[in-house]
Amino acid sequence: MNMVLLVIMLSSLSGDGADIFDQANEAYYQGDNIRAIAGYERLISEFGVKSPALFYNLGNAWFKEGRLGKAVLYYEAALALDPRFDAASKNLETVLKNTKRHLPAPDRNELNRGAFLHYYPFTPMQSLLLTHAALAAALVLLFVCYRRGTPRVKWLYRFSLVFAAVFFALTVGSNLAARNAPKLAVTVRDEAPVYFSMNELESPRFLLYEGDRVLIDRIEGDWARVYAYGGERGWTRKDNTGIVEYSGI
């Protein structure tokens, strides 16, 4: 697998960050994947660097070390930031073919089925813009109503206020739904038992294998509730997985 150069990051790095960047790239080219991984992960944890190319390089390095779960995690992270990153998409497909079950990712729609906001077509930002548009229309109509005061204008003014209130409520609701939406995660252990409850004394309901992608819809302490492809659900130790949205884990 080829490496994508991180030249785009150099302008935002200086001092120690730039040195770590150069050392990590040098280690990668020399085949010292462990040192390269350590450097790239320091850029994430200490300098807050989040770049599709950086995640892509981490995916490559982990794949060369035989850690398929970590490779899938970082390729998914690269694609989360840049869905059109073809190299990451192709490498992800290659790695998934090498996993034990090479399962598709679970469908978020299945987990959200029945939720009203699941069918709501606008993003929180779009809803907020519609709210502002309705309020602006209400102000214009209020001015017209003050000048002319016809019943029809008054009716339109009230309708605009109701429209604005509805979209504001939907803005708040969709924003909360986005925050609480299930998060894509990847199994990073060879095997990860999943239990009916947060109790390791139980017999596992099923096993996850390295590279399996799941959705996490709830975290309680050291436990995460996972939803796997095919509809299987249960609790597993949180450190058995890496969450794609927080790839600096």
* Two structure tokens written together for 82: 């840049």
Q: What is residue 227's three-state secondary structure?
A: strand
Tell me the pTM.
0.72
Please give the CATH topology (third level) of the domain spanning 182-246.
Answer: SH3 type barrels. (2.30.30)
Q: What is the mean pLDDT of residues 113-125?
A: 52
Task: Give CA–CA dist 137/156, Å, rounded.
Answer: 9
CATH architecture of the domain formed by 7-98: Alpha Horseshoe (1.25)
Environment class of 81 (CB within 10 Å of its CB; exposed 0-12, middle 13-18, buried 19+): middle
Residue-wise pLDDT for 43-100, tens only, equals: 888 888 888 989 999 999 999 999 999 999 999 999 999 999 999 999 999 999 999 9
Calculate what percentage of the chain has a pLDDT beyond 70: 67
